[in-house]
A and B are shown apart, each in its own frame.
Chain A
Amino acid sequence: MSAGIIALTAYTLVWPVLVAIVMIVIGRAFVQEWKEARDEGIDLV
Chain B
Amino acid sequence: MNDSSAVQFGAVTVVLLLVLFYGGTYAISRGIRKKNENADEYMTAGNKIGFGISAASMTATWIWASSMYASAASGYEYGISGPIHYGLWGALMILFIYPFGKRIRSVAPKAHSIAEVMHARHGRSSQLMLAGSNVVGSVISLMSNFIAGGVLISMLSPFNFIQGVLAVAAGVLLYTLWSGFRASVLTDFIQVMAMLGAVAIIVPFIFFAAGFPAAFETGSANLTPAQGNFFSSEAFLGQGAPYIAAVLAYAIGNQTIAQRLFAVREDLIKPTFITATVGYGAMVIGVGMIGVLALYLGFEPTNGDVNNIIPEMAASYLPGILLALFFVMIIGALSSTADSDLAALSSIMMADIYGQNVAGKEKANPKTMLFIGRLTMVLASAVAVAFASLQLNILDLLVFVGALWGALVFPVLASFYWGKVTNKAFTTAVIAALVIFIPVRFELIPLVGPVGILVDILSAVGIAVILGLMSFGFFGLRVAKIVAAAAFLLSAPFVIGFLHDYATLSASLVAYAVSTLVCYFMSFRQKDDFDFSLIRKRTGDFDEAEDEETAVAEASVAPRGAAGRTAVAIDDAPQSRGGSATGPKKEDN
State the A residues within 8 Å of B (CB): 1-2, 4-6, 8-9, 11-13, 15-20, 22-23, 25-33, 36, 39-45
Contacts and interface: CB of A to CB of B under 8 A. Distances in A.
Interface stretch (B47-55, B146-154, B315-323, B411-419): B47-55
Interface string B55-77: 11001000000000000000000
B213 A8 contact: yes
A19 to B, nearest CB: 5
7 contacts: A6-B213, A23-B193, A25-B275, A26-B52, A26-B193, A40-B561, A41-B558
B557 A41 contact: yes
Interface stretch (B197-205, B432-440, B456-464): B197-205
Nearest to B279: A22
A26 B186 contact: no
A13 B217 contact: no
Interface stretch (B240-248, B283-291, B487-495): B283-291
B32 interface: yes
- Chain B contact-residue range equals 35 or more
Contact of A33 (B52, B192, B196, B275): B52
B186 A44 contact: yes
B558 A26 contact: no
Given A5-B213, A29-B55, A33-B50, A23 B196 contact: yes
B53 A20 contact: no
Given A22-B275, A30-B189, A39-B561, 13 more contacts: A2-B217, A4-B216, A5-B216, A12-B207, A18-B278, A18-B281, A25-B55, A26-B55, A26-B193, A30-B52, A31-B52, A32-B52, A40-B558
A22 B62 CA distance: 15
Given A12-B207, A26-B59, A44-B186, A20 B562 contact: no
Contacts of B544: none
Contacts of A39: 559, 561
Nearest to B184: A45
Identify whether the interface residues of B are mostly helix, strand, loop, or mixed: helix
B200 A20 contact: yes
A45 B286 contact: no
Contacts of A1: 213
B299 interface: no
A30 to B, nearest CB: 3
Contacts of B566: 42
Contact of B559 (A2, A6, A28, A40): A40
> Which residue among A26, A39, A44 has the maximum number of chain B CB atoms within 10 Å of its CB?
A26
A30 B201 CA distance: 22
B328 to A, nearest CB: 15
B292 interface: yes
Interface in B206-234: 207, 212-213, 216-217
B554 interface: yes
Instruction: Give the 4 A-B CB pairs with smallest separation, nearest first.
Output: A15-B286, A29-B52, A30-B52, A18-B282
Contacts of B182: 45
A12 B289 contact: yes
> Which residue among B32, B213, B558, B565 has the maximum number of chain A CB atoms within 10 Å of its CB?
B213
Nearest to A40: B562
B558 A12 contact: no
Contacts of A22: 59, 196, 275, 278-279, 282
A12 B203 contact: yes
Contacts of B559: 39-41
Contact of A16 (B32, B193, B199, B216): B199
Nearest to A29: B52
B293 interface: yes
Nearest to B554: A42
A1 to B, nearest CB: 6
A44 B283 contact: no
A33 B557 CA distance: 18
Contacts of A29: 50-52, 55
A19 B464 CA distance: 34
Contacts of B562: 40-42
Contact of A12 (B49, B55, B212): B212
A30 B56 contact: yes
B104 interface: no
A33 to B, nearest CB: 4
A45 B45 contact: yes
A25 B45 CA distance: 22
Given A1-B213, A12-B203, A44 B558 contact: no
A8 B200 CA distance: 17
B283 A19 contact: yes
B39 interface: no
